[in-house]
Chains A and B, each alone.
Chain A
Amino acid sequence: MTVTHSAPAAPPADGGAVILQASGVIMRFGGLTAVNSVDLTVREGEIVGLIGPNGAGKTTFFNCLTGLYKPTEGQVIFNGAVLPPKPRAVVLAGMARTFQNIRLFNNMTALENVMVGRYCRTSSMALTSIFRGPKFRREEAATRARAQELLDYVGLGRSSELLARNLPYGDQRRLEIARALATDPKVLLLDEPTAGMNPQETRQASDLIFKIRDSGIAVVVIEHDMRFIFNLCDRVLCLVRGETLVEGSPTQVQSDPRVIEAYIGTGDDDEDEGAST
Chain B
Amino acid sequence: MSTVSTPTQIAPTPGYHPSRIDGLREQHGRLAWLLVLTGLVVLAAGCFLSWSYDPEILGNLSISFNPGSLQLFMLTAAVLALVYALAYRGPLRGLGVWIDSAKALMVLGIGALGFMAITLAVVAVTSSGLINIDPGGWVSLVGSLVLAVGGSLLERRPTKDTLHAQLPAWVEIGTIVVLMAMLLFGAAYALGQTDGNIFGLFLVFVVAVAWSLFAAGFFTWLGIVAQRHRRVLMLGAFAVAFLFPFTQNGSDANMSIATQVLIFAATALGLNIVVGLAGLLDLGYIAFLGAGAYTAATLSTSAFATIGWKPPFLVVVLLGAIVAATLGLIIGTPTLRVSGDYLAIVTLAFGEIFRLSMSNLDGNNGPDLTHGPNGIPAIPDLQIGSFNFGDEHTILGFSLGRFANYYFVLLVLALVIITVFSRLNNSRIGRGWVAIREDEKAAEAMGVNVFGLKLFAFASGAFLAGMAGTVKAHQDVSVTPDQYVFLESAFLLAAVVLGGMGTVAGVFIGATILKLLPEKLRFISDYRLLIFGVLLVLMMRVRPEGIIASQRRQLEFHEEDEALAERIEEVHLEEEAQT
Contact = CB atoms under 8 A, between A and B. Distances in A.
- Do A and B form a real pair? yes
B429 interface: yes
Contacts of B430: 129
Contacts of A99: 442, 445
A68 to B, nearest CB: 7
Interface string A196-214: 0000000000000000000
A91 B450 CA distance: 13
Contacts of B446: 91, 96, 116-117, 119-120, 179-180, 183
A263 interface: no
B445 A108 contact: no
B460 interface: yes
Contact of A124 (B427, B442, B444): B427
Interface stretch (A158-166, A227-235, A254-262): A158-166
A169 interface: no
A91 B447 contact: yes
A130 B438 CA distance: 23
Interface string A76-99: 000000000001100110001101
Interface in A65-80: 66, 68
Contact of B449 (A88, A126, A180): A88
Contacts of A140: 427-428
Interface string A226-266: 00000000000000000000000000000000000000000
A163 B568 contact: yes
Contact of B572 (A104, A109, A117): A109
A140 B456 CA distance: 20
Contacts of B552: 107-108
B565 interface: yes
B444 A116 contact: no
B420 A130 contact: yes
A143 B442 CA distance: 19
The interface centre, meaning the residue of A91, A109, A130 with most chain B CB atoms within 10 A of its CB, is A130
The interface centre, meaning the residue of A87, A117, A139, A162 with most chain B CB atoms within 10 A of its CB, is A87
B-side interface mostly: helix
A161 B435 contact: no
Contact of B569 (A106, A136, A163): A163
B252 to A, nearest CB: 35
Contacts of A163: 555, 565, 568-569, 572
B86 interface: no
Contacts of A143: 428
The interface centre, meaning the residue of A106, A119, A163 with most chain B CB atoms within 10 A of its CB, is A119
A108 B443 CA distance: 13
Interface in A105-164: 105-109, 112, 115-117, 119-122, 124-126, 129-130, 132, 136, 139-140, 143, 161-163
A91 B573 CA distance: 32
Nearest to A98: B445
B441 interface: yes
Contact of A92 (B420, B443, B447): B447
A136 B428 CA distance: 9
B435 A129 contact: no
A131 to B, nearest CB: 8
B419 A87 contact: no
Nearest to A122: B428
Given A112-B431, A112-B434, A143-B428, A126 B460 contact: yes
A215 B572 CA distance: 34
B432 interface: yes
Given A112-B431, A115-B431, A161-B573, A87 B556 contact: no
The interface centre, meaning the residue of B419, B444, B568, B573 with most chain A CB atoms within 10 A of its CB, is B444
B442 A165 contact: no
B420 A103 contact: no
A106 B423 contact: no
Interface residues of A, number: 42
Given A108-B438, A166-B565, A87 B444 contact: yes
A104 B442 contact: yes
B576 interface: yes
A71 to B, nearest CB: 16
A119 to B, nearest CB: 5
B424 interface: yes
Contacts of A112: 431, 434
B432 A165 contact: no
A168 B423 CA distance: 32
B423 A130 contact: yes
B458 to A, nearest CB: 13
Contacts of B450: 88
A124 B430 CA distance: 11
A105 B438 CA distance: 6
A105 B434 CA distance: 8
Nearest to B577: A161
B556 A107 contact: yes
Contacts of B443: 105, 116
Given A105-B439, A108-B438, A136 B427 contact: yes
B441 A68 contact: yes
Contacts of B476: none
A34 B490 CA distance: 46
B566 interface: yes
B428 A103 contact: no
The interface centre, meaning the residue of B431, B460, B565, B572 with most chain A CB atoms within 10 A of its CB, is B431
Given A108-B435, A108-B438, A116-B432, A129 B445 contact: no
Contacts of B444: 68, 87-88
Given A68-B441, A104-B442, A166 B566 contact: yes
B485 interface: no
Contacts of A139: 428
Contact of B442 (A88, A105, A115, A130): A105
A166 B435 contact: no
Interface in B131-181: none
A130 B565 contact: no
A106 B444 CA distance: 16
Nearest to A184: B447
B57 interface: no
B448 interface: yes
Given A104-B442, A129-B423, A130-B419, A116 B435 contact: yes
Given A106-B439, A166-B566, 14 more contacts: A87-B444, A106-B555, A108-B435, A112-B434, A119-B448, A122-B428, A125-B429, A126-B460, A129-B423, A130-B420, A130-B424, A162-B569, A163-B565, A166-B569
12 contacts: A87-B445, A96-B445, A107-B434, A107-B552, A108-B435, A112-B431, A116-B443, A116-B448, A119-B448, A125-B429, A129-B430, A161-B576
Interface of A: 66, 68, 87-88, 91-92, 96-97, 99, 103-109, 112, 115-117, 119-122, 124-126, 129-130, 132, 136, 139-140, 143, 161-163, 165-166, 179-180, 183
Closest 4 CB pairs of A and B: A120-B447, A91-B447, A129-B427, A103-B442
